[in-house]
Amino acid sequence: MASKLDQLRAITTVVADTGDFEAVRRFRPTDCTTNPTLILKAAQSPAGAELIEEACLWGRSHHGMTSRVADRLTVSFGAELARIVPGRVSTEVDADLSFDTEATLTKARAFIADYHSRGIERDRVLIKIAATWEGIDAARILQREGIDCNLTLVFSLAQAAACAEAGVFLISPFVGRIYDWHVKAVNKTFTPETDPGVRSVRQIYDYYKAHGITTVVMGASFRTLGEIEALAGCDRLTIAPQWLEQLGQAEGPLPRMLDPMRPAASVPARMNLDEKTFRFLMNEDAMATEKLAEGIRLFAKDLRALRELVSQRLEGSVDPLAAPLSQEIG
């Protein structure tokens, strides 16, 4: 019998949640996602050190500010990944721009222009943006310009519905972080079937399919293999190397749990959210509000660490293989 990873590939687009080039080559995902935490981690590898050196050489010759060099490094990682995977690479807009629509637009367009200068066209790239109201508004504009977006840090149906109305290409609901919040809130663990993160993705998936919404649902941030198996059949799943490894070694049948031809018995009516309603619904959802804010803080923290690494490397005062790394990945 085929491994569970091979069975999953047959019903779900498998995406690697990593900046590790060797892991991507090994597991052969269709797409790849990155974020500041993953790039900071990958920058500590020998291959990453080479990209840091190239970006810093460019920065010195172009009198580039640290932030511009960090942006170049981010696209360099994405470009290398795009040469490995056949599909798309997600590149994340700075977390500290999550509440600034215009700045998000400027950064996203700059990323696309940099990719184009390296021979990688926009149909190979997803611009990754936090699913705040301002981020969703920026994505609405970018989608009209032909720049596809991945709205990340999705924790609620309200976020998913707003992304759908904006015509977003893809959303990333965070299974594991939803699970974490509920475990802490009620001081208990869950089975894959009762897991609140799994249930959230299933609700969003059913909502999209019932209303004919074409936005791709890509489950992200997993804590157990059971969570992944419970979402088999989801449009896409972005999975860290440790779980890809375990799926590749696991045997036994992997039943399809999500199926667009098997509609849910009950689905909420389609929502058309204005800003006031969106913000109120988020305010009513303590988990979504807290995890969105926390996610932005964590990504911003690692973005600052990445910029500090670049700054010190520009001055020749740090070993890139010894940079500090956040413990929060997914």
Residues annotated as part of the active site: 128
What radius of gyration do the chain's Cα atoms show? 19
Closest CA to 80 of 13, 147, 19: 19
| Helices 66-82 and 101-117, axial angle in degrees (round to 10) | 50
- Please give the C-alpha separations between residue 5 and each of 85, 114, 240, in angstroms, as whole numbers: 17, 34, 13
Length of the chain: 330
Please state the φ and ψ torsions of residue 303, each to the nearest 5 degrees.
-65, -45
CA atoms within 13 Å, Cβ hemisphere of 92 = 30
- Please give the C-alpha separations between residue 141 and each of 135, 214, 262, in angstroms, as whole numbers: 10, 17, 33
Please state the φ and ψ torsions of residue 159, each to the nearest 5 degrees.
-60, -45
Which 3 state secondary structure label does DSSP give 301?
helix
Tokens read off for 278 = 């969106």
Which 3 state secondary structure label does DSSP give 171?
strand
Buried b (16+ CB within 10 A) or exposed e, 240-258: bbebbebbeeeeeebeebb
Please state the φ and ψ torsions of residue 47, each to the nearest 5 degrees.
-65, -40
